[in-house]
Amino acid sequence: MVKPESELLPPKPEARPRLYAWSSDEVARRWRGCLKVGQTSRDVNARIRESQGQARVDYILEVDEPAERPDGPPITDVEVRRRLIEKGFENVVFESSKEWMRCSADDVKTAIAELRAGQAYEGSHHATFGMREEQASAVEQTLAYFASRWAQDADAVPEFLWNAKMRFGKTFTTYQLAKRMNATRVLVMTFKPAVEDAWDTDLKTHVDFNGWQYLSRKTGGDPASVDADRPLVFFGSFQDLMGRDSAGNFKPKHKWLTELSWDLVVFDEYHFGAWRDAAKELFEGEDDKASKKATEDEFSKDLETFAEELETNGADEDAFVPIRAGAYLYLSGTPFKVLKEGRFIEEQIFNWTYTDEQRAKQKHVEQHADEPNPYASLPEMRLLTYQMPDELTAIASQGEFDEFDLNAFFEARVVDGAAEFVHKDDVQKWLDIIRGQYAPTQVDFLKAGTRPPFPYSDTRLLPYLQHSIWMLPRTASCAAMASLLAEPQNAFWHDYTVVNVSAPGVGVGLDALPPVRQAIGSGFDTKTITLTVGKLTTGVTVPQWSSILMLRNLQAPETYFQAAFRVQSPWTIRNPDGDDPSREDILKPVCFVFDFAPTRALRQISEYGIGLAPEERNPEKAVEELVKFLPVLAYDGSNMTQVDAGGILDIAMAGTSATLLARKWESAILVNVDNATLKKIMSSQAAMDAVMNIEGFRALGSNVFETVVNKSEAVSKTKKEKGDDLTPSEKREISEEEKEYKSKRKQIQEKLIKFATRIPAFMYLTDYRENTLYDVITKIEPDLFKAVTGLTVDDFNLLVGLGVFNAGHMNQAVFAFRRYEDASLSYTGIDSHSGLTRYGLYDTVVAVDA
């Protein structure tokens, strides 16, 4: 019998076996914590609805995973339930069904992951995702640098910095680095103990770290009793682990720290002295004594001591942290101060900035449009600045250019227990302005025929102001704002729940979150305004916050953008319809920063843009790259326009004077005198000869570098080996040794700075407008350069290449000089010389080689 064609050539089935688990409100009421575990080769949701028969109850699909394994038959639901029972979870008989397990979705995922891998995992290890491209790059670059240092010196303790903004995945990536290093002892120290959850969770949920041990003050446990054959991660706050008793000795309970050899020591949330400064700036307006005490505990005074010792010891942690480390890793999202100081050279830094993140987001859309975008939930930021009417700026201006002083404008005083603004009538006008309801500006809008987008009036902005945070200068200002918003004439604001987290009695850090979360709820049917001086602006996540109003003066870009990035946290809903655990709806595609002191705001953008790209030879290009993804809109009193990079820099440098430019060239950040740099000079006869040609160096003697390096390393070694066991005489001897090498290091630094101050003199004498340091090196009058500075161009180029002079910061100083010179010439009607138009190092080198 001849078979029909349909039987001879049957279509190949498309179905793939899947494992699933679901729950419902009814089950939750009757059998708390239970999930039904099943399998199907059809549509999962169709199978669940079919299995419910007549009941048709609403359900939530918690797990939807492929049943395949690398080899062998697919995993069955029977195997999953059996594995869960073996792990101690209860198999609950619900009506006639035996498919119910009292466990969580993560427990089901862990069981599936174990069956797929053919091994048992501790805890709830189930995550199997790999590193993103940038995470893998961070690991590879760090390993390569560590290897190069160990190749030069087997006893070296290399250091590396990850300049990585929030959402980079620093904990997961750090553990991957430790795994690649075959590290068995990892010490994580942080200045923000609230970040512990991420370090704990990542280690206990990803299959790559199965078998690793985790200890901290929160988890408890005796470090002496851990399994020596399995990797250990110990997490602690710097304040606790490095704190000293009244005699200056380390706490006895942490003595074991000094007895172990740590393969990798990680400093998390580490901004060196900048974090101390930022914390001080953030909380300087807190008047409540309890809040001040809590703040001091959170941002310990030990941090200030640590930062000072870091500077004093030439950035040698071993000199004052008595632990034996194989390598150091520093993690920070805003390490601007350390980047400016040249604390790390280019090969010691991995950068993953806001610009990198948004560029990757855009690139993924262009190249992988049909695949889930791992960056999709990260909002793009917008900065909107507003020039206030003259009648308001007149009462609160400061500085040479009469910048609007937010601290003075929002100043408040407490009288008879009630806080009130000093300029209450004017603050009321400001409230009317941001709603677009201030009468004088209404007339201006009618004349101009345009209506600028004020925050609380533009229908496009209002949805992003449903939940916002307002930063004010002092505790009294927050209280005064809460009172003013509640007054009868401000009926518009009565729709918003105002939460003053700077009020007396509200805790610091995570302790200030509960009233905010309670007011926001799910975020859909509520409206909130959170008033703060500095609380909740570092290290916390409130997904519903979509905008921040900067109503106080913040000088440090670290502080400004730590606060601004609070509103860049993703707000998403996973599995919104309960039938697809992989689906994610994005509720916040963009977020907003509103600032009412335009000059200062643009100065922050300028510094941030330059800080984001320390390797960029031209600051204008760095800022230009930033504003591609952080558009800046400025309202000048009549029109709202987008500001380009050149405009931002012009405004930011508006106050630059010849005196300020001179100070840039007298700064210690332009030169590097750490041991690694001094060793590079010593290892090159050409470099030694070049340095000896700098005025004053011959008087110091050719052995000055060797003296500094040898004595500092000897002191460091003694402190590390003996620690608290040093005798009084040994301490005195070490103190004398320290004084000697620190004095000589200071003299080296002063000679190099004195040389650097001659570069602007040379630039002033040339006919060219220099854009970068490499223009100075390669393009301009070598004979004149030697006559003015004492070095040949080749000698200077050699020392820059060795890191003796900090090229990145010299670039910025050169660029500032050029813009100042251009502005000065423009007043006389003279155009800048057009002889130099290239900006980058590589453009310059290519041009010279050609």
The CA distance from 233 to 620, in Å, is 43
Burial of 425-457, coded b for 16+ CB within 10 Å and e otherwise, reads ebbbbbbbbbebebeebeeeeeeeeeebebbbb
* pLDDT interval class at 132 (50, 70, 90): very high
Confidence check: pLDDT of 22 > 60? yes
Mean pLDDT of 570-589: 82
H helix or E strand, kind and range, residue 161: strand 159-164
Q: Which residues pair with 382 in a beta bridge?
A: 592
- Say if residue 72 is exposed, middle or buried (CB neighbours under 10 Å; 0-12, 13-18, 19+): exposed
pLDDT at residue 836, rounded to an integer:
31
Contact 291, 508 (CB under 8 A): yes
pLDDT at residue 765, rounded to an integer:
54
* pLDDT interval class at 722 (50, 70, 90): low
Mean pLDDT of 299-314: 45
Q: What tokens does 704 get?
A: 């000055």
Contact 19, 67 (CB under 8 A): yes
Q: Start-end ranges of CATH 3.40.50.300 in the chain?
A: 133-352, 356-655
Question: Cα dist. 233→166, 371, 423, 550 in Å?
Answer: 22, 35, 54, 39
What backbone phi and psi angles, to 5 degrees, belong to 146? -55, -45
Please say whether the dihedral angle defined by the alpha carbons of residues 497, 501, 504 and 509, taken in this order, is positive or negative.
positive
Mean pLDDT of 24-45: 80
The CA distance from 602 to 275, in Å, is 22
Confidence check: pLDDT of 462 > 90? yes
Which residues make Cβ contacts (< 8 Å) with residue 473, sequence separation at least 6? 285, 406, 407, 410, 411, 533, 551, 552, 553
Q: Which of 781, 772, 785, 843 is nearest to 811 (CA)?
A: 772
Contact 699, 736 (CB under 8 A): no
Residue 67's SS3 state is coil
The CA distance from 196 to 237, in Å, is 9
One CATH from 3.30.1050.10, 3.40.50.410, 3.40.50.300, 3.40.50.1820 for 356-655: 3.40.50.300
- The tens digit of pLDDT for each residue in 253-301 reads 777 777 788 999 998 876 544 445 555 555 566 665 555 555 555 444 4
Indicate the range of 246-250, 299-303, 580-584 predicted with least confidence: 299-303
- Could you identify the residue written with the tokens 């100083």? 813
Confidence check: pLDDT of 718 > 50? yes
- The tens digit of pLDDT for each residue in 488-536 reads 999 999 999 999 999 988 877 677 889 999 999 989 889 999 999 988 8
Architecture of domain 133-352: 3-Layer(aba) Sandwich (3.40)
Q: What does the mean pLDDT of the chain come to?
A: 78
* pLDDT interval class at 97 (50, 70, 90): confident
**Percentage of residues in the chain having pLDDT higher than 90:** 23
Mean pLDDT of 140-167: 90
Helices and strands: H and E segment counts in the chain: 37, 28
pLDDT at residue 736, rounded to an integer:
81
Q: Which of 844, 355, 307 is nearest to 611 (CA)?
A: 355
Contact 446, 638 (CB under 8 A): no
